Chains A and B, each alone.
Chain A
């Protein structure tokens, strides 16, 4: 096994391109998903650690939007100075594993791992995040909903690195929120979670982006609900969160919770997230 720690993107991309399958190369960042998944098997391939590549880490304003570097950790997100639309992402960052996990684990790793229970995905979908993929062949951008294609499946090609996530321009006054349901208070995999970004006008919802995680193979935006919420004040909004408007979800029963509970809990979790945001209680 060899462990590569390139400091330039070219070197990193070079290490990934043109490899045959005999000697696999795995990209890792924090390794907090990769190593546990590997289990006890000895790994004979190459590990390509992208965390030292120049420009891969950190959050910055670019043009009218924001760029989250492909090796940005959850702690980086927490400590970044970001507008209230990111409060949901920050709340999620606080609840990814423990502080140790947040110091090592990255946003890109979270979406590449593509677990249905990935806490980063609902807030990022609600922020309309786009994923920048780079290889020696070039650069492309996909919206996050197209990037994650299934349980632990993404559109990333083997020679591509997620170099950044982009958050497009946010309307002034957009605010985010996040609610996670877990069996204990901390260090717990989500039973279900909700990420939302709202814009408000005169106490009423002008636009809503609501995403539910862990209740379908890939976290889903609740389009019907988002439309129905437009124009609602808080009381109306809470009423409009109905199971029928969440019909796109397909929760399963597993070791963490029953399908029935997930179905009921997401209704309440959405209501709480809306309340959190509309009452100004979501502080990332």
Chain B
């Protein structure tokens, strides 16, 4: 149990139950209103014109032709774009990235906005955008990991990984009895949330209301306020439903700023929604990486060194370097550890956080390298990992807040049937002659926390109201957070109202870093606890209450009643307590964050182990993942159904990473050749079979009062490597890049 809370937390009623998503019915019946479903009176439709070159300048736009098209109301170009209070090329706050908002006529990547057309209908705006018929002075774009000389980013937070060294790297290399030196590459990937980026902006004087999908609802008020020169409280953000975010909806992008600006310029509400192909440009992506891994082991197969170096693409005008090499921190007990990063500037949009930023490509390369090392050493890859199991955080020596990774390995391996796997590749076939391979990988994801606040109110009728500006991106925040709140108030789910998703509510922090449930849930729990404390004060101090004299700490809340802790028959309903006290609502407030001391005291991670089976056609080389078993330990599981869905979703993303996803840039024009979901492949249902998730029990008394870690991103890690390793095990061909495609296996045939 917790050593942070004074009292043992009261779990039981709702927490831990597999409740169905509360937003489910609204979504399947179509009544859920996403940002672009809003149609205020007088609405203008905005369509942005994407650059069709990647580097150069716009020399001409046929504004007259566009304006002449019936229904077109305004065309915004750098010539007439009204000023912004905040410079789009500045970096004024955390998570600020530079963006294009028509500050000039330069083109820095394909698909960046070069004009915005406003019209009475979407169709007219689309046609107006086409009629602008841009002319360019185009330059040869710099593309790919060799497109320019690498640079070393300074360490400084998101997108700026530095170099981390623990121990003596040279000594570690020198001490190795066997070693490997391998290089893996991963491509540019574009996170394509189902709901593309959208905004409906309405100004009222110097106040703006934004219907916009947001992963950081309260925080983004300040960001939008900065660019428009208004205080944060003058920005209202409504984001009740998001059709996915994956990191991109925590970052402001140029087209949205332009639409908001257009609304102020025209005095009318403006709607903009990106088309699918426009998602391949201004709204972030994962940069390509080239990762060199050098591992050394001693004669006992213990790692003397884990040396991970990553080069990643970023844009020419801002820096977001995928922190891939950091995946090698925190996991294996190597004698010496180095994670080093470099960037290369190319003519693409600035990358940004994409589900498991750094960890996803880093784990992919690391887990394959571990497999290569194990094979060279002649031992089973799972045994090799157990041999190098870290009892304390490698390098820092910090104790883990909890770490049930051994159980993950054991339960995952047992479920999968790993025992007896031949060490050598190309040993197994199925009844149809398909080559069968088994691979595994360790999953690791940090368990951070942001800061959040919440409010809880008990009403005279005995119902509760809880508030925090959480983001339900489809992951189930509405449901899991309401479960925590209901539990903290001792009320059943149907007697609490959960207000969420708008910026006038207490800040729920960022729905990112796999920390939303821990952070917003922590604040809700604290608020509920505070409300119950106040209610208990009323009851225990009132001679007319059966709880009189029980003492504040001597009562517990359950099913709408307070009970004396030591005598269950002494109890009173919330409604009676409040009514007798005069009928005023009882309000509690709470917040959650992690103190610096808590961060210093423990290393905090979710862990997991993923086992993959693939079948490869020996002649046509078609690759199918036939089984995927993931066992994860992520602290307290609030809602098993939602948790398993998140983990499965992550593992499917892993299949996608391993076998499908890749943006292909035309080297001459810098344009992405497969900028749509017909060409940018992700797995279809038929590609996903035999998927199993095990949630391993884990009590974490240190990570936060509720013992919650994250499950949103970890599913990708481990999985990509497991699949890559299984393909090698099936075929004997070691492909050192992702995605692994049919032709890659040809050479080994």
Contact = CB atoms under 8 A, between A and B. Distances in A.
Bound together:
yes
Interface of A: 36, 40-42, 181-189, 191, 255, 257-258, 260-261, 264-265, 268-269, 271-272
Interface majority SS (helix, strand, loop, mixed), chain B: loop
Nearest to B745: A261
Interface in B682-700: 683-687
Nearest to A185: B686
Given A185-B624, A185-B686, A42 B742 contact: no
B570 interface: no
A186 B684 contact: yes
Contact of A42 (B127, B619, B678, B686): B127
B495 interface: no
7 contacts: A184-B659, A187-B684, A255-B674, A265-B620, A265-B621, A265-B742, A271-B619
Given A42-B123, A268-B620, A184 B687 contact: yes
B130 A42 contact: yes
A185 to B, nearest CB: 4
Contacts of A186: 684-687
Given A42-B126, A42-B130, A184-B660, A260 B686 contact: no
A183 B684 contact: no
Interface string B619-638: 11110100000000000000
Given A40-B126, A265-B620, A191 B684 contact: no
Given A181-B620, A185-B687, 9 more contacts: A42-B130, A183-B741, A185-B684, A186-B687, A188-B681, A260-B746, A265-B620, A269-B620, A271-B619
B156 interface: no
Contacts of B42: none
A188 B38 CA distance: 35
Contacts of B123: 42
Nearest to A42: B127
The 7 A-B residue pairs with the shortest CB-CB distance in the complex, in nearest-first order:
A185-B686, A186-B686, A268-B619, A261-B743, A42-B127, A258-B743, A186-B684
Contacts of B417: none
A41 B743 contact: no
Interface residues of B, number: 27
Interface in B128-148: 130
B673 interface: yes
Contacts of B678: 36, 189
Contacts of B621: 261, 265
A260 B684 contact: no
A258 B741 CA distance: 11
B619 A184 contact: no
Interface in B62-95: none
A181 B673 contact: no
Nearest to B685: A186
Nearest to B747: A260
Contact of A257 (B126, B674, B685, B743): B743
A255 B686 contact: no
B130 A41 contact: yes
A57 B733 CA distance: 50
Nearest to A182: B622
B681 to A, nearest CB: 6
Nearest to A266: B620
Contacts, number: 61
Given A255-B673, A268-B619, A184 B683 contact: yes
Contacts of B397: none
B126 A255 contact: no
B324 to A, nearest CB: 25
Contact of A255 (B275, B679, B685): B679
B565 interface: no
A268 B433 CA distance: 14
A261 B742 contact: yes
B320 to A, nearest CB: 27
Contacts of A40: 126, 130, 275
Given A255-B674, A257-B742, A183 B681 contact: yes
A260 B749 CA distance: 13
B21 interface: no
Contact of A184 (B275, B679, B684): B684
A271 B618 CA distance: 13
B534 interface: no
B734 interface: no
Nearest to B662: A255
A164 B313 CA distance: 53
Interface string B730-749: 00000000000111001000
A114 B422 CA distance: 49
Residue among B660, B679, B742 facing the most chain A CB atoms (10 A cut-off): B742
A184 B681 contact: yes
B664 interface: yes
A238 B678 CA distance: 35
Nearest to A41: B130
B78 to A, nearest CB: 23
Contacts of A191: 742
B748 to A, nearest CB: 13
A98 to B, nearest CB: 8
Nearest to A264: B746
A71 B514 CA distance: 51
Contacts of B674: 255
B120 to A, nearest CB: 15
A41 B130 CA distance: 7
A260 B673 contact: no
Contacts of B619: 265, 268, 271
B45 to A, nearest CB: 14
B743 A260 contact: yes
Chain B CB count within 10 A is highest, among A41, A185, A191, for: A185
Contacts of A187: 684
Interface string B661-673: 0001000000001
B691 to A, nearest CB: 14
Contacts of B746: 258, 260-261, 264
Contacts of B742: 181, 183, 191, 257, 261, 265
A265 B664 CA distance: 23
A265 B745 CA distance: 12
A264 B620 CA distance: 8
A36 to B, nearest CB: 8
B18 to A, nearest CB: 30
Contacts of B664: 255
B116 to A, nearest CB: 15
Nearest to A98: B684
A192 to B, nearest CB: 9
Contacts of A258: 743, 746
B100 to A, nearest CB: 20
B98 to A, nearest CB: 28
B491 to A, nearest CB: 44
B660 A183 contact: yes
| Most chain A beta-carbon neighbours within 10 Å: one of B123, B673, B683, B743 | B743
Nearest to A36: B678
Nearest to A253: B743
B626 to A, nearest CB: 11
Contacts of A268: 619-620
A213 to B, nearest CB: 15
Central interface residue in A184, A265, A269, by most chain B CB within 10 Å: A184
A68 to B, nearest CB: 27
